[in-house]
């Protein structure tokens, strides 16, 4: 009877040891693991020009006011459509009452409407902007990275980030005296591309009041973008 109990206990111990082997194998995956990080960056030209123009008028008759604003905007739209490679977007349009000094009685109405222009042809858009400023006002001038440029930059940075990570992995392997390494995990992240770069609305070439339409100065510049490669490797020792 006692002999049977000892055999059963020995069998249970043996089975328990075998069952623990996968757990030990899993633990070995973390042996000689190193966390690494590599980062690469480049200067990317802002190749998309964005101009926001607006008209703002007031009148005691809201219907007349709306008609006047529509006439001004329609004229600008028609003029802008004559220029190639320019994307037109109508921005916000708002109307609100004007009160007397006591803030109780409505004495008139004010309305504002925006027009947004985008183009990679800076010269054409600058010229058009100067012409439209005879009827509209400058709301802002921005410069951004166009989508095709952004994608091409991301693709290039991704390759460079992986290459940089592999170089650091080999460096760490050599420092530890390992014979090789394998990548356990790798995450690639872009820092995101910057929002449009705002230029002051009044950055214009000097001109007199009676001169020809003023052409805004253009200086788009560049933005630094980067990509990081975060991951871990397992060094295989000699």
> Where in the chain are the domains?
1-30, 32-47+146-195+221-238, 48-144
* Residue-by-residue pLDDT tens, the chain, 238 positions: 544 444 444 434 334 444 445 554 545 545 789 999 999 999 998 999 999 999 999 999 999 999 999 999 999 999 999 999 999 988 899 999 999 888 889 999 999 999 999 999 999 999 999 999 999 999 999 999 998 998 999 999 999 999 999 999 999 999 999 999 999 999 999 876 555 554 544 444 433 444 555 666 666 788 888 999 999 999 998 7
The reported pLDDT for the residue numbered 30 is: 57
Residue 183 bridge partners (DSSP): 233
The reported pLDDT for the residue numbered 90 is: 86
* Residue 28, phi then psi, degrees to nearest 5: -65, -20
How far is CA 110 from each of CA 42, 72, 74, 170, 226, rounded to the nearest angstrom? 47, 15, 18, 67, 45
- Contact yes or no for 35/187 (Cβ under 8 A): no
- Contact yes or no for 236/180 (Cβ under 8 A): yes
Give this prediction's pTM.
0.67
How many CA atoms within 13 Å lie on the side-chain side of 17? 6
The reported pLDDT for the residue numbered 222 is: 85
CATH topology of domain 48-144: Alpha-Beta Plaits (3.30.70)
* CATH number of 32-47+146-195+221-238, picked from 3.30.110, 2.60.40, 1.10.3470, 1.10.10: 3.30.110
């Amino acid at each position: 009877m006692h002999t049977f109990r000892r055999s059963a206990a020995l069998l249970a111990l043996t089975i328990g040891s075998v069952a623990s082997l996968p757990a030990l194998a899993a633990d070995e995956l973390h042996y000689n693991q190193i966390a690494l990080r590599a980062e690469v960056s480049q200067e990317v030209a802002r190749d998309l020009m964005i101009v926001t123009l607006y008209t703002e008028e007031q009148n005691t008759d809201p219907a007349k006011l709306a008609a006047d604003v529509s006439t001004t905007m329609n004229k600008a739209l028609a003029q802008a459509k004559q220029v190639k490679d320019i994307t037109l977007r109508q921005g916000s349009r708002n109307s609100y009452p004007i009160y007397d000094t006591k803030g109780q009685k409505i004495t008139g109405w004010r309305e504002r409407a925006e027009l947004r222009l985008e183009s990679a042809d800076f010269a054409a858009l600058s010229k058009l902007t100067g012409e439209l400023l005879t009827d509209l006002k400058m709301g802002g001038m921005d410069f951004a990275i166009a989508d095709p440029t952004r994608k091409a930059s991301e693709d290039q940075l991704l390759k460079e980030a992986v290459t940089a990570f592999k170089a650091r992995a080999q460096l760490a392997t050599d420092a530890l005296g390992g014979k090789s390494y394998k990548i356990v995990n790798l995450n690639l992240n872009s820092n995101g591309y910057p929002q449009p770069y705002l230029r002051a609305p009044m950055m214009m070439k000097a001109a007199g009041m009676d001169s020809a339409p003023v052409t805004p100065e253009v200086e788009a510049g560049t933005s630094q973008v980067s990509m990081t490669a975060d991951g871990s490797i397992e060094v295989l020792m000699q």
